[in-house]
Structure 1
């Protein structure tokens, strides 16, 4: 997973195919053509809305940008390619498998980019693409708008022998996090006609409220590895908590899982990190990796969480081990 560093919000998408962590090319393209106009229904589908997040490079230094992007892809997945899409001045990179991204039409389908009836696209839909291609879309009357919503903090209770038995002390006050969402909004007569989310990320992670619970002697302090017991906040967390305990995991495992996911996605099944394209609760990249846990990985938080558990077990040997890595490196 990539660090949550603020980048320019990018165009809405949810890749139907494979995503890979890659540097993006942010194109400084002034000309927006009108080579092709297609209807919304041509690309409309039932896939959930998602968001893309890519490391920025300047297209004014296109050779260096593409070289860096290609290097990042090669290190992750040599079958993956990228193409830049720019709409009303905002850019994103569509990632996908090479065999699935040969034309402009392929790129838009791969990125699940829905065109409005009056959108103008350049180059035309049948044009062959390379990693140097910049697809521009001109959407008249649409504005980019950003809003923030709260990410609830959790209450974590930790036992400590440094307090008398039964006595409690607040070690850390809780603080809500911030989820930033950017949408492409079209208005007519002052009323919103359409609002399409194309970026959503954890701008500020929540801070847990930590309560120390006394167990006896005051001669020692809380163990460094005591993660404590976390009270779930909301339906998704409650399900995840119960699922873990029902399958042999511990309260500390849930605390560790909650910490990682709260920082990665704010527990949003459709979140995507703005600089890597990582998707879902666990910020998997490519998001399609989660298909190994179920075909409904794009929308089902249960499928995503099960994949998260398997990922932690296979890569780190457990959820708490993944948490320890995250604490050290701010990613996992």
Structure 2
């Protein structure tokens, strides 16, 4: 027969010693599991498994328009000793690369940033720096001005057996590229007192105009698959003549012109705002080019000679560097 007596609910005072032991054991197990979960989460976060490394981009451009990589690991490159510090002048940012940063002044020197007499710098020039440091420079009566200038396209003539000898046909129409330049301009009324380029980079790459030239001979057409490029200005003409005089070929000039036109638009002071890459070949740090001459900051001839040596040492030839650039949009 079923019992209809009301069951008595157990109270804390009525619990036996064995029941108390079980309760304490269960509570200890719960606390242990919760603690392990928190520790595990902290471990994974600390080792970067749940967080992404922030990427710094160049004006939001893709890798197809800017040849230098933009992640911090790309900036560091093969040299693990490379470090980077952000410099802001009147609100515009730039990353400066180097291997021997000690103070604010050492960063400015590496970035070729010259202070004006009335500039305000924070932290102080003697302050120590690391990769978390942001150097801020304020310039009185100075404004940031951004301008776009065209990069002239090159004309490349390629021989082909598909046309009668001497006949020409346009294969690809040329398109000008765009160079975006950020300058720090100081004005007195309507008069420009000074204008200094802060960054200048290839915003849009030019497209070569390719003209096919009939040969009537397969052997002649195969001699130079890259084609002959017509020098488009004083810098290109000098580079062309220098290469030919030093035993290089028309193909070498075509390859060199292509790389430099896409890297810097032949601008001697071209400066990438993300990596700080500098000059015609976009060397970074730019002072690497000092091995070719003390005037590396301003002399396009010195920069070009360094570029040729770099291509030969790293890729074996200028045309090999060109092949790598075409495949990877950098070199």
TM range (shorter): 0.7 to 0.9
Instruction: Report the Cα offset of residue 329 of structure 1.
Output: 0.7
- Cα distance, 1:194–1:131 mapped onto 2, change above 3 Å: same
SS at match of 2:195: strand
- Cα distance, 1:274–1:138 mapped onto 2, change above 3 Å: closer
SS at match of 1:245: helix
Contact 2:103 2:126 in 1 (8 A): yes
Q: So what's the TM-score if we normalise by structure 2?
A: 0.73
In the alignment, which residue of structure 1 is the partner of 2:328?
329
Instruction: Report the Cα offset of residue 236 of structure 1.
Output: 1.0
Bigger Rg, structure 1 or 2 = 2
Cα deviation per residue 1:145-178 (whole Å; 9 max; x = unaligned)?
1111121222111111101122111111222221
Tell me whether 147-156 or 230-239 shows the greater mean CA deviation: 147-156
- Cα distance, 1:322–1:112 mapped onto 2, change above 3 Å: closer
Report the Cα distance in structure 2 between the residues aligned to 1:75 and 1:213, rounded to whole angstroms.
Answer: 42
In the alignment, which residue of structure 2 is the partner of 1:179?
179
Residue correspondence of structure 1 range 119-134 to structure 2 within 5 A: 119-134=119-134
Q: CA RMSD for the aligned pairs? A: 2.7
Relative contact order (C-alpha < 8 Å, sep 6+): which is higher? Answer: 1
Contact 1:290 1:304 in 2 (8 A): yes
Contact 1:54 1:274 in 2 (8 A): no
Instruction: Report the Cα offset of residue 330 of structure 1.
Output: 0.7
SS at match of 2:255: helix
The count of aligned residue pairs is 268
In the alignment, which residue of structure 1 is the partner of 2:84?
82
Contact 1:54 1:93 in 2 (8 A): no
- Cα distance, 1:147–1:319 mapped onto 2, change above 3 Å: same
Instruction: Report the Cα offset of residue 75 of structure 1.
Output: 4.4
Report the Cα distance in structure 2 between the residues aligned to 1:299 and 1:189, rounded to whole angstroms.
Answer: 30
In the alignment, which residue of structure 1 is the partner of 2:214?
214
SS at match of 2:308: helix
- Cα distance, 1:7–1:225 mapped onto 2, change above 3 Å: farther
- Cα distance, 1:126–1:293 mapped onto 2, change above 3 Å: closer
Contact 1:172 1:210 in 2 (8 A): yes
Tell me whether 233-242 or 113-122 shows the greater mean CA deviation: 113-122
SS at match of 1:76: coil
Instruction: Report the Cα offset of residue 265 of structure 1.
Output: 0.9
Instruction: Report the Cα offset of residue 252 of structure 1.
Output: 1.0
Q: Are residues 1:305 and 2:304 paired?
A: yes
- Cα distance, 1:123–1:8 mapped onto 2, change above 3 Å: farther
SS at match of 2:225: coil
Contact 1:170 1:212 in 2 (8 A): yes
SS at match of 1:77: coil
